[in-house]
């Protein structure tokens, strides 16, 4: 089944039960809610298998600045890298950016287009579950539709998000000489020698 999902485009109506998830809203405090999709076990197994086999390709396609694509201890590497840059004599400031509700606000059509261009080895598998809205069931009998973004809780969510925003990271790198580091939707930019470079970095971020 996993081989079929990775190599053939499947009619979305035939895999609706596989894509449906239970939605759990987690309270992050101050009125913020993080929606977590609890998927069927078989879909999680499929995602883990695909990510296990394609991890190297996803990491290479995501580049060296995005550390959530499957790198070992990626979050720790990001912290240590920016800490070392911040301590450097030629660094004037470090800016930390956290995108609001990034995983759920991601434009799905653009994301799938980027994945086809950057990492075709997982493109078919990514397109099959994400090209049509999926059902999300909430306690109490309510139901909503997931039409944008990636489902948090999906084993492939981090890798897909990393590939989706890679063009943004590349454009930021070309527009500013600020040293940057990303972990999913959390970005850090350090001005080297001039606060003006930090300003350029901010202007280019969403």
pLDDT tens by residue, 175-194: 777 788 888 888 887 776 55
Q: Domain range holding 16?
A: 2-204
Per DSSP, helices labelled H in 63-194 are 74-87, 102-105, 108-118, 123-130, 157-164, 166-175
Q: Nearest Cα to 145, choosing from 92, 203, 204, 104?
A: 104
pLDDT for residue 150 is more than 70: yes
- Give the pLDDT mean for 146-156: 80
User: What is the pLDDT, as a whole number, of residue 6?
Assistant: 92
Task: Give the separation between CA 152 and CA 101, rounded to whole angstroms.
Answer: 11
At residue 205, the pLDDT reads: 53
| Tally of structural domains, the chain | 1
b/e for 39-62, b at 16 or more Cβ within 10 A? beeebeebbeebbeebbebbbebb
Mean predicted confidence (pLDDT) in 62-71: 83
């Amino acid at each position: 089944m996993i081989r079929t999902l990775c190599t053939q485009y499947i009619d979305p109506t035939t895999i609706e039960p596989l894509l449906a998830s239970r939605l759990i809203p987690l309270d992050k405090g101050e009125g913020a809610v993080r929606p977590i999709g609890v998927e069927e076990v078989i879909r999680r197994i499929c995602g883990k298998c695909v990510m296990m086999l394609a991890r190297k390709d996803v990491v290479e396609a995501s580049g060296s600045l995005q550390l959530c694509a499957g790198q070992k201890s990626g979050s720790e590497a990001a912290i240590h890298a920016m800490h070392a840059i911040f301590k450097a004599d030629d660094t004037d400031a470090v800016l930390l950016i956290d995108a609001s509700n990034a995983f759920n606000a991601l434009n799905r059509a653009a994301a799938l287009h980027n994945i086809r261009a950057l990492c075709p080895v997982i493109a078919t598998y990514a397109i099959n579950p994400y090209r049509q809205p999926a059902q999300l069931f909430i306690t109490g009998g309510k139901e909503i539709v997931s039409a944008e973004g990636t489902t948090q809780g999906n084993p492939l969510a981090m890798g897909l998000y990393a590939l989706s925003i890679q063009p943004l990271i590349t454009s930021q790198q070309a527009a500013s000489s600020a040293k940057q580091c990303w972990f999913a939707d959390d970005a850090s930019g350090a001005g080297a020698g001039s606060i003006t470079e930090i300003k350029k970095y901010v202007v280019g971020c969403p």
